[in-house]
Amino acid sequence: MEKTMEPALAVSDLNVEILGENGAFPVVSEMSLSVRAGETVCIVGESGCGKSMTALSLLRLLPDGARVASGSIRIHGEDFLAMDRRKVEDFRGDKIAMIFQEPLSALNPVLTIGEQIAESVRQHRRLGRREAFARAVKCLELVQMPDPERRARQYPHELSGGMRQRAMIALALACEPKIIIADEPTTALDVTVQAQILGLISDLQKRLGTAQILITHDLGVVAEIADRVIVMYAGRRVEECSVYELFENPIHPYTIGLMGAVPHRDRSKAAPERLTDIPGTVPPLWDLPKGCAFAPRCPGASARCLEERPPFIEKKPGHFAACWEHDNA
Amino acid sequence: MPDAAAPLLSVENLKVHFAIRSGVFQRQVGEVKAVDGVSFSIGPGETLGLVGESGCGKSTTGLALMGLVKATEGQIAMQGAEDVTQMRSIPRSYRRRMQIIFPDPFSSLNPRQRVRDIIRAPLDIHGIGTIEERRAEVAKLMSLVGLRPDQADNFPHQFSGGQRQRIGIARALALKPDIIVCDEPVSALDVSVQAQILNLLGDLQKELGLSYLFISHDLGVVEHVSHRVAVMYLGKIVETGSKDTIFTKPLHPYSELLLRSAPAHDPRQRHKFSAVSDDIPSATRKPLGCAFHTRCPLATDICRQIEPRLEHKADGQSVACHHR
């Protein structure tokens, strides 16, 4: 991608908070990211790290009780957070769309697949019912749904998990948005179906040149599909770099810990007897430690790590991380 | 047969069929053969990984072993026990030697019970030891699985997911079983916590000489923990062998597909995943002949008509395929 190209989606200094009983606490802090056309950025982290909240805020779909406290989201240069509701609804589906994790709960159970896609098309395009339905069938063809004519007339419960996820993707692509946010799109699927859906997502991106943000907890999925990766922990970015750099030279102890914690097949090395586990658990977001949020679990934490939060800075060209100890190492 | 190589547990021809009922009179209109003639054995201190996708019957196999769903047919034998027993009525003496860890540590612990009572329940049920002994045992079990015994009075909601899974493991260990059915024990956990639990299970196996039937859909996890592996597809074991043979030279086309589908964890060796959807059957509409023929690149006429039997090949590897 050319460096001069304007990013399709640019987020800067985004802070999202949840209003709890004892006041507001941050769930996403100082989040910045940008995605260009044709690029896939993966946000990876464990439950509660703020990755899904980031995704929802990008579509202004945050649940009640959560709100964007500050920051900006620009879609094709336009300020998304400043838009009124009408404009947001115009943008959603048309310019930016989302693929959810659980298609069975994200799809409407009382409308056929075809009706749902047609409904979304008619929201944004001046098309008649019949034309919109024909467009829906075309979308289902695009996602390689077997027997699309028939499937368009079926309800979500009549489809298998893999087909539902295809329908979900077809729905997201119906108006040819230039930005796709996918939140754990293959987590609910069996591994053989996951492979098909990952194949489909990357095929479609090559053909349509969309900018993609993919949220996942699975480093295997990251390795298969990402161009760039952001690792999140306790609501913050802890590392960001190209996917190759991440797997070859990870900097942050949390990233390194995650890589060692996943059992996976690497035939070039002898199988490890034990996995490197990360002791303890993720701290609750309403009670974060004072310094680096990872310090209490970190094997290399110093006194400074417990006191002061490390800044998220460029450690090597194109490779960002938030860690004090890396500089000393 | 007191033989050194004798398996600790052997299961022959296990079947679990569920009736499909419908209409006002709840007449039986069909049958789901969730588990349809599964045989396996597990040696002392051995982990058998049972791997397959959702609906293949792997969890039902584990539940039937524990008597938590009723087997339709099948025999079970345990080392040291006199006879082969029908799976339909597993005696208490067997059950005491087999315990289970459930997949979801949030729903498998009673939220109204204190941890102490949860872990003690198996001892109460089987009437082991005095009250004092039981109390001491609970403290011992808690430290064994890495929990602080002074948390015994807490309720499950006061623990994280990983800690709850440790409570489940302590409960399973209470009766000093020979074998533990681990039903997707880490699938609900975050990866960093998953590693803690897998390491704990490994340590316990070494320390106590436990055998595991380790049920999982995650190939990475199964490869990490297993000595031997059985691959299940729609109610049947289609291939079994040592971990190394299954993961390096699988014979069944389904095992090959599974391994091919697992993400590589190396961005320089990405797969070319095909986006094409294949015809995935379910246990309620199982194809005739070989159940995998609708998805199999090798399928021929014989596969559509005759179901292949699990046949022994080499190196303890068995496969159910007409073409291998």
Q: What is the mean pLDDT of each run of 10 residues along chain B (324 residues)?
A: 68 93 87 93 96 93 93 90 79 88 92 95 92 94 94 93 94 96 93 92 95 95 96 96 94 95 91 87 88 94 95 91 93
**pLDDT confidence of residue B29:** 85
DSSP A7: P
3-state secondary structure labels for all residues of A270-310? CCCCCCCCCCCCCCCHHHCCCCCCCHHHCCCCCHHHHHCCC
Name residues 213-232 of chain B within 8 A of A (Cβ): 217, 219-221, 223-225
Instruction: Quote the crossing angle between the two packed helices A129-142 and A161-173, to the nearest 10°.
Output: 120
Mean pLDDT of chain A: 91
For residue B162, list chain A residues with Cβ-Cβ distance below 8 A: 281
For residue A197, list chain B residues with Cβ-Cβ distance below 8 A: 275
pLDDT over 50 at A182, yes or no: yes
Q: How far apart are CA A23 and CA A85, in angstroms?
A: 27
Q: If you measure CA to CA, which chain A residue comes closest to B161?
A: A281
Tokens, residue B324: 């291998």
Please tell me the distance in Å from A39's CA to the nearest CA on chain B.
Answer: 15
Higher-confidence residue: A327 or B269? B269
Which of A124-128, A225-229, B18-22, B76-80: highest mean pLDDT? A225-229
DSSP B72: S
Task: Give every strand in the sheet of B318-319, ordered side by side.
Answer: B98-101, B179-183, B211-216, B47-51, B228-233, B236-242, B318-319, B311-312
Average of pLDDT values for A147-175?
Answer: 93
Of A202, A263, A267, the CB nearest to B198: A263
Query: What percent of chain A stands above pLDDT 70?
Result: 95
Please give the model's pTM, rounded to 2 decimal places. 0.91
Q: How far apart are CA B126 and CA A171, in angstroms?
A: 56
For residue B192, list chain A residues with Cβ-Cβ distance below 8 A: 46, 257-258, 261, 277-278
Of A198, A258, A274, the CB nearest to B192: A258
Q: Could you give the dihedral angle defined by the CA atoms of residues B171, B174, B175 and B181, in that order, rounded to the nearest 10 degrees?
A: 40
**pLDDT confidence of residue B92:** 81
Instruction: Tally Cβ neighbours within 10 Å of residue B64.
Output: 27
Q: If you measure CA to CA, which chain B residue comes closest to A276?
A: B195
Q: How far apart are CA A170 and CA A137, in angstroms?
A: 9
**pLDDT confidence of residue B91:** 82
Angle at B129 between CA B124 and CA B132, to 5 degrees: 95
Q: Is A199 close to B272, i.e. CB distance below 8 A?
A: yes
DSSP for A93-148?
TTTEEEE-S-HHHHS-TTS-HHHHHHHHHHHHS---HHHHHHHHHHHHHHTT-SSH
Can you list the domains of chain A with their CATH numbers? 9-95+178-257 (3.40.50.300), 103-176 (no CATH)
**pLDDT confidence of residue B3:** 42
**pLDDT confidence of residue A266:** 66
Name residues 72-131 of chain B within 8 A of A (Cβ): none
The complex's ipTM works out to 0.89
A162-171, A264-273, B85-94, B102-111, range with the lowest pLDDT: A264-273
Asked if B284 is an interface residue toward chain A (Cβ–Cβ < 8 A), one would say no
For residue B257, list chain A residues with Cβ-Cβ distance below 8 A: 192
Q: If you measure CA to CA, which chain B residue comes closest to A224?
A: B270
Q: Is B190 close to A226, i.e. CB distance below 8 A?
A: no
Asked if B270 is an interface residue toward chain A (Cβ–Cβ < 8 A), one would say yes
For residue A191, list chain B residues with Cβ-Cβ distance below 8 A: 53, 217, 219, 258, 261-262
Q: If you measure CA to CA, which chain A residue comes closest to B160?
A: A281
* pLDDT-derived band at A265, boundaries 50, 70, 90: low
Higher-confidence residue: B88 or A195? A195
Of A243, A257, A271, the CB nearest to B192: A257
Q: Is B224 close to A263, i.e. CB distance below 8 A?
A: yes
Q: How far apart are CA B75 and CA B285, in angstroms?
A: 27
Burial of B160 (0-12, 13-18, 19+ CB in 10 A): middle
| Rg of chain B in Å (alpha carbons) | 21
For residue A261, list chain B residues with Cβ-Cβ distance below 8 A: 191-192, 194-195
Please tell me the distance in Å from A272's CA to the nearest CA on chain B.
Answer: 8
* pLDDT-derived band at A269, boundaries 50, 70, 90: low
Of A47, A146, A195, the CB nearest to B190: A47
Higher-confidence residue: A9 or B4? A9
Tokens, residue A201: 């997502």
* pLDDT-derived band at A268, boundaries 50, 70, 90: low
Instruction: Tally Cβ neighbours within 10 Å of residue B107.
Output: 10
Average of pLDDT values for A315-325?
Answer: 94
Inter-chain Cβ pairs, chain A and chain B, closer than 8 A = 141
A255-264, A274-283, B220-229, B258-267, range with the lowest pLDDT: A274-283
Q: How far apart are CA B17 and CA B30, in angstroms?
A: 10
**pLDDT confidence of residue A99:** 94
Q: For residue A213, give the 3-state DSSP assignment.
A: strand
Q: Is A223 close to B270, i.e. CB distance below 8 A?
A: yes
Average of pLDDT values for A194-209?
Answer: 93
For residue B260, list chain A residues with Cβ-Cβ distance below 8 A: 195
For residue A200, list chain B residues with Cβ-Cβ distance below 8 A: 275
